[in-house]
Amino acid sequence: MDISIARLITVSLYNFLSIYSFILIVRLLLTWLPMVSWAQQLAATLSPITDPYLNIFRSFLPPMGGFDFSPILALLTLQFLGPFIIRMLAGFLYTFV
């Protein structure tokens, strides 16, 4: 495998995780604006993208007292595990160069 292909894969994964983290943050902020119509429309658009990932954390951490802490846990997990996964993938791919 060429080094440029390995670099492309790792940079693409990094960009994907960055964009997905941004989408999660936007989704989290939109939950604080439930009565604004444009926020509801945007949240409805983002829900199919974010809910499968968030549902993993909702099964571990159900809402408590009306507060859903699963998006925070999901975002923290993505922020801490994302770079680790990228480094692991890069190390794996660069062994084939």
Distance from C-alpha of 5 to C-alpha of 23, rounded to nearest angstrom: 27
pLDDT at 30: 86
pLDDT at 64: 84
pLDDT at 19: 97
What would the pLDDT profile of 18-68 be if each residue is shown by its tens digit?
Answer: 999 999 999 988 888 777 888 888 988 999 999 999 999 999 888 888 788
Q: Is 55 exposed, middle or buried (0-12, 13-18, 19+ CB in 10 A)?
A: exposed
HEC sequence for 5-22 = HHHHHHHHHHHHHHHHHH
pLDDT at 22: 96
